[in-house]
Amino acid sequence: MHLTVVKMDFPQPNLNENITKGRFKGHVAVVTGGASGIGRECVRRFANDGASVAFLDINKDRGREYEAEAQSEGHDVTFFNVDVTDRKLCFATLNAIAQQHGGSINYLVNCAACFIYKGLEATKDDWERVLAVNVEGYANMVQACHPHMKKAPAGDRCVVNIASGSAFVTQPNNWVYQSSKGAEVEMSKSMAVSLARDGIRVVSVSPGTIWTSLTANIVDHDKELAQSIWGKSPMLRRCGESAEVAAVVAFLCSRDAGFITGTDVKVDGGYTAIGPDGHSDAVGRKQTLHSKSTC
Ligand SMILES: NC(=O)c1ccc[n+]([C@@H]2O[C@H](COP(=O)([O-])OP(=O)(O)OC[C@H]3O[C@@H](n4cnc5c(N)ncnc54)[C@H](O)[C@@H]3O)[C@@H](O)[C@H]2O)c1
């Protein structure tokens, strides 16, 4: 297979993590899927910004490992081995987390996902598992957090549901995962209107292709290859980093985002906005056309 390596004109800039240190001091954040990828970076960023963080994941080994790493760096980070489809366990865990932290929870980030990319060949089990984790699991967590979030100080209550660019643009044979991500975006809007009266903001975040173990496994951890495959499409001509998604999640939870709710925020380098003729060569041709147009 011939692959063109795409030049990255605008690599990832340094994040403002030093400036935001301490902004969540005394606040409690809960993150699902926190043992890996975007979820793990959300845990790290909340901890960097001063929050106490509880993260839930089915991957016990990676969860324990990251908990130990974060604690050794002096952060208040605790791991809970929870499958978000286990509704009863979600409620019991959130009760325990709230109790440990004076009764309230400020932020929830739903990130845990099941990735089954199938279309015509999808089975009943595929549908049930993906919808149970990606849709019902997100709802379970919001329901379990709700009574504790209402007790947090007004202005410091927020839910972020990690959706995907797949909710907006399509790929072949992606019926199952794509439906679940579309559902997350729509469900987030309904959650936002339901919870506004409790002062809880709800936002979905839709990443483009992000370098995580999910994407790394597809290309045998070859980042240059990933860049040649997925880095070509976004306006910014590169894959994103988990830390860049986490930075947006933390911003959305902060008071600086106090007037944002019921919407989706795309963190995709412009991927979902651009059409097939959007890149420079085609744009060059278009400009020639435009220069000839009359009105
Ligand atoms: N990586 C990307 O390119 C990309 C792009 C768009 C959207 N997303 C979204 O970002 C989120 C995170 O993706 P990622 O790439 O970091 O994936 P990842 O595989 O690195 O992390 C997902 C984590 O969720 C955990 N998990 C899975 N099922 C669970 C369950 N039932 N209960 C609790 N934990 C569970 C896994 O053990 C894993 O640690 C997902 O919602 C995904 O749809 C990712």
Ligand 1 closest atom vs CA 59: 37
pTM of the complete model: 0.95
Given this model, what pLDDT does residue 12 score?
82
Could you tell me if residue 199 is inside a domain? Answer: yes
Could you tell me if residue 277 is inside a domain? Answer: no
SS3 state at 115:
coil
CATH number of the domain encompassing residue 253: 3.40.50.720
Given this model, what pLDDT does residue 2 score?
52
Could you tell me if residue 21 is inside a domain? Answer: no
CA atoms within 13 A on the CB side of 45: 29
- Catalytic residue check, 177: yes
Range of the domain at 221: 28-271
Give, rounded to a whole angstrom, the gap between the first and last alpha carbons of the chain: 45
Could you tell me if residue 259 is inside a domain? Answer: yes
- CB of 141 within 8 A of CB of 90? yes
Residues 263, 214: Cα–Cα separation, whole Å:
26
Given this model, what pLDDT does residue 30 score?
99
Neighbours of 4 (CB within 10 A): 7
Amino acid, single-letter form, for residue 200: I
Could you tell me if residue 205 is inside a domain? Answer: yes
- CB of 168 within 8 A of CB of 206? yes
- Residues of the chain with pLDDT below 50 are 1, 282
DSSP string, 90-113: HHHHHHHHHHHTTT---EEEE---
Tell me how many domains the chain contains: 1
Q: What is the tens place of the pLDDT at every residue in 183-223?
A: 999 999 999 999 999 999 999 999 999 999 999 999 999 99
Could you tell me if residue 124 is inside a domain? Answer: yes
Ligand 1 centroid to residue 33 C-alpha, Å: 6
Could you tell me if residue 264 is inside a domain? Answer: yes
Mutate to test the pocket of ligand 1, among 40, 58, 264 (most ligand atoms within 8 A of CB): 58
Ligand 1 closest atom vs CA 35: 39
Residues 211, 82: Cα–Cα separation, whole Å:
25
Given this model, what pLDDT does residue 294 score?
73
Question: Which residues lie closer than 8 Å to 7 by C-beta, 6 or more apart?
Answer: 237
Write out residues with Cβ below 6 Å of ligand 1: 32-33, 35-39, 56-59, 83-85, 111-114, 133, 137, 162, 164-165, 207, 209-210, 212-215
Could you tell me if residue 81 is inside a domain? Answer: yes
Given this model, what pLDDT does residue 293 score?
65
Q: What H or E segment, with its residue span, contains residue 185?
A: helix 175-195
Given this model, what pLDDT does residue 46 score?
98
Residue written as token pair 């987390």: 97
